[in-house]
């Protein structure tokens, strides 16, 4: 059976969101400017990245339009390659939302689409550039290596809690995939995930309720001299 868009999102949401947080750390509150002709976005006077146009979201009818289908926009072919790759992935994997030119957003949101595109295309990041009546979603290229680096132990809890707060996901599926992708060795029990990472001594334990929702998070760092708690159970 071909995976659904939701299945793919559950698998990629944690790491994709972590990269978005890292991008936010990098650009801060710098003003942005997009030059579609040059295929570039700038943040302030010191950051510039090549871009691809993924698609647009219309506030009027809550719809998504893929860049490859935006025939009246006059977009240069050079900025359409990423959206066409997504279309190909949709054709190969049987994901209807990737091949349908335009559709109404509901449980599948514009941010979900953009996050998943970034994950499927070289673990990239997106930027939402608003305009009157909607927004264009851009895939950024040639980002610093730190954006894709494993998350710091202190950020694991932040990522998990923000993903489950902002998106409808299978908590357990999302969390287990996220921990694996971030370099943790994961041991699974019916209502528990235990994970550790040798590179920094981080440990995490997640407890789940009967509906697979995260019920408790505990984590510690193991420095050379002492064991230090880095967040409290909630």
Question: pTM for this one?
Answer: 0.91
**What integer is the mean pLDDT of 169-185?**
97
- What would the pLDDT profile of 150-173 be if each residue is shown by its tens digit? 999 989 999 999 999 999 999 999
**Local confidence band at 71 (pLDDT 50, 70, 90 cut-offs):** confident
**What integer is the mean pLDDT of 90-118?**
95
**What integer is the mean pLDDT of 108-137?**
96
Q: Is pLDDT above 90 for 1?
A: no
- Mean pLDDT, the chain, rounded, equals 93
**What integer is the mean pLDDT of 113-120?**
97
Distance CA 196, CA 73 (A): 49
Strands annotated E in the chain: 32-35, 40-43, 47-58, 63-66, 102-104, 125-131, 134-140, 185-189, 192-197, 202-208, 214-221, 228-231
Question: What's residue 72's pLDDT?
Answer: 86
CA distances from 170 to 6, 14, 21, 112, 185 (A): 9, 11, 21, 14, 20
Percent of the chain with pLDDT over 70: 93
- What would the pLDDT profile of 193-222 be if each residue is shown by its tens digit? 999 999 999 999 999 999 999 999 998 766
Distance CA 1, CA 178 (A): 23
Distance CA 42, CA 148 (A): 20
Question: What's residue 2's pLDDT?
Answer: 56
**Local confidence band at 73 (pLDDT 50, 70, 90 cut-offs):** confident
Give me the torsion for CA of 201, 167, 7, 50, rounded to 10°. -80
Q: Is pLDDT above 80 for 104?
A: yes
Question: What's residue 172's pLDDT?
Answer: 97
**Local confidence band at 184 (pLDDT 50, 70, 90 cut-offs):** very high
- Six-digit token string for 145: 């290596």
Closest C-alpha among 234, 193, 225 to residue 212:
193
- What would the pLDDT profile of 219-228 be if each residue is shown by its tens digit? 876 654 444 5
């Amino acid at each position: 059976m071909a995976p659904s868009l939701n299945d793919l999102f559950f698998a990629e949401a944690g790491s994709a969101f972590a990269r978005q947080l890292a991008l936010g750390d990098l650009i801060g509150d710098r003003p942005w400017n997009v030059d579609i002709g040059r295929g570039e976005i700038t943040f302030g006077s010191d950051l510039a990245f090549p871009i691809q146009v993924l698609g647009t979201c219309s506030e009027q009818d809550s719809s998504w339009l893929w860049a490859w289908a935006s025939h009246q926009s006059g977009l240069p072919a050079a900025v359409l390659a990423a959206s066409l790759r997504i279309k190909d992935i949709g054709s190969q994997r049987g994901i209807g939302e990737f091949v349908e030119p335009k559709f109404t957003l509901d449980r599948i949101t514009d941010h979900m689409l953009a996050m998943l595109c970034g994950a499927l295309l070289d673990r990239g990041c997106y930027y939402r550039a608003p305009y009157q009546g909607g927004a264009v979603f851009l895939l950024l290229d040639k980002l610093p290596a730190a954006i894709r680096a494993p998350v710091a132990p202190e950020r694991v809890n932040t990522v998990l809690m923000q993903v489950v707060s902002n998106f409808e996901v299978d908590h357990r599926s999302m969390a287990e995939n996220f921990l694996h992708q971030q370099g943790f060795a994961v041991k699974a029990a019916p209502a528990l995930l235990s994970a550790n990472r040798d590179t920094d001594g981080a440990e995490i334990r997640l407890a789940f309720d009967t509906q697979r929702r995260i019920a408790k998070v505990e984590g510690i760092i193991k420095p050379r001299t002492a064991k230090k708690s880095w967040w409290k159970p909630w």
